[in-house]
């Protein structure tokens, strides 16, 4: 079983080094996410860390709280923070990483019981999923920055975690994925439903993970049905 705490520390340190090394002009340049600059990605990562830190602190002290005040507030906060001067945004991001680490480190075993809301009245999630949620945010959005760190740079442990965690999402039709650089085959979608055949998609674990999150056009992947199955953006 993957040690998520160790993996999170590794991918977070890698991201911190990348963000800390960005020159000011790079923040205004486009990221790989449509409509978002690199400043938007860094702002989102900072606010995500703060939101999840608040969730963990609330659970630790017995005062549950949602991750964000509202969907609109979350989006507005990202847009506003993305306009901050690069030095200010950089410091906010670096501080948020420390805030999350502190909240994570303070959690006791029984603090992980229960659930939390992303926004008030919205879907809720198990507190135990917070480390997985954060490690995916950090590793995937690191590649989204488009500054040379790609899915091919993801640690093997993360690629395994990503392929497994993406099996929990809904898909229009079932299919299998076989990474050519890892042992095993992963199943996606509802395998109980009727259907003619279930495509087998092959490629590196990095290419599969990138595609499964709705990124790219399936570069480097092949399907025995000749057509890649439909997946949605993560």
Q: Give the model confidence (pLDDT) of 124-143 as tens digits.
A: 999 999 999 999 999 999 99
Element (H, E) at 26: none
194, pLDDT greater than 70:
no
The pTM score is 0.95
Confidence of residue 234 (pLDDT cuts 50, 70, 90): confident
φ/ψ of 212, rounded to 5, equals -65, -25
Model confidence pLDDT, tens digit, residues 16-26: 999 999 999 99
At 112, list the tokens. 């992980």
User: What is the pLDDT confidence band of residue 1, given thresholds at 50, 70 and 90?
Assistant: low
Percent of the chain scoring above 90 in pLDDT: 95
**Averaged pLDDT, 82-101:** 98
Would you identify the CATH topology of the domain 4-149? 1.20.120
CA atoms within 13 A on the CB side of 19: 32
Average pLDDT over the chain reads 96
pLDDT at 197 over 80: no
pLDDT tens-digit readout, 97-114 = 999 999 999 999 999 999
Domain ranges of the chain: 4-149, 162-223
pLDDT > 90? residue 52: yes
pLDDT category of residue 86 using cuts at 50, 70 and 90? very high
The CA distance from 12 to 145, in Å, is 14
Q: Cα angle vertex 148, ends 143, 24, to 5°?
A: 95
């Amino acid at each position: 079983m993957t040690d998520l705490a160790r993996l999170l520390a590794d991918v977070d340190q890698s991201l911190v080094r990348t963000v800390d090394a960005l020159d000011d002009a790079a923040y205004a340049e486009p990221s790989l996410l449509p409509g978002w600059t690199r400043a938007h990605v860094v702002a989102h990562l900072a606010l995500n860390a703060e939101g999840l830190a608040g969730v963990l602190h609330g659970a630790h002290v017995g005062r549950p709280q949602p991750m964000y005040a509202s969907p609109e507030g979350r989006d507005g906060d990202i847009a506003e923070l993305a306009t901050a001067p690069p030095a200010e945004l950089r410091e906010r991001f670096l501080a948020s990483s420390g805030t999350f680490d502190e909240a994570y480190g303070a959690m006791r075993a029984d603090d992980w019981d229960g659930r939390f809301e992303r926004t008030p009245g919205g879907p809720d999630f198990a507190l135990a999923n917070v480390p997985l949620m954060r490690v995916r945010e950090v590793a995937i959005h690191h590649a989204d920055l488009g500054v040379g760190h790609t899915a091919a740079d993801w640690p093997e442990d993360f690629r395994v975690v990503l392929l497994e965690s993406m099996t929990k999402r809904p898909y229009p039709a079932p299919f299998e994925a076989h990474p050519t650089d890892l042992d095993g085959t992963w199943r996606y979608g509802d395998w109980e439903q009727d259907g003619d055949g279930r495509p087998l998609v092959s490629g590196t674990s990095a290419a599969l993970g990138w595609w499964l999150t709705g990124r790219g056009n399936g570069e480097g992947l092949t399907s025995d049905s000749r057509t890649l199955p439909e997946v949605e953006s993560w």
